[in-house]
Chains A and B, each alone.
Chain A
């Protein structure tokens, strides 16, 4: 079955450590996205990538980094510079970045930093 896989489902880290969240898709989609969701709030865009080896900052990119070396993979690194990293992170993909392509989402990773 085609889909988006995020791993792990729950992640715990100590403050000051970098952590990488995995996102893999086998939908052959060109565009991929990372969103952050805080309790009771909507989704905010962190980074997106329209094509391999290219990515753009979203609304809240500070303290995060990404790479897009393969079409299937778009890992997100939460660095120690991110002041409030505890949140629910959702990865998504779409056939293209055009406006008529809906996003398909993974199941998310809950990151807790203490």
Chain B
């Protein structure tokens, strides 16, 4: 079964450093997402991406964050100048088309900011 692949599975960084989380969506999917889950809390929407541009972003997704699809397969989330409160699990998801359609999630990247 096709999978969404995320790397790294766990990253530890110092406060103020830049982090790039990588995702390889399912190959024929067109819509891409990043979600965040702070430990013990619910999964929150960060940003959606379609046709090489951001479709929607949440209030959380401020200037500290950026997304990119640098080639035909990768979808990245960059977090600049990390803060302690950025520590969370970050999930990438993708789906094929609009309408009633399943989002497939990756296994997540756990970010720990010290």
A, B bound: no
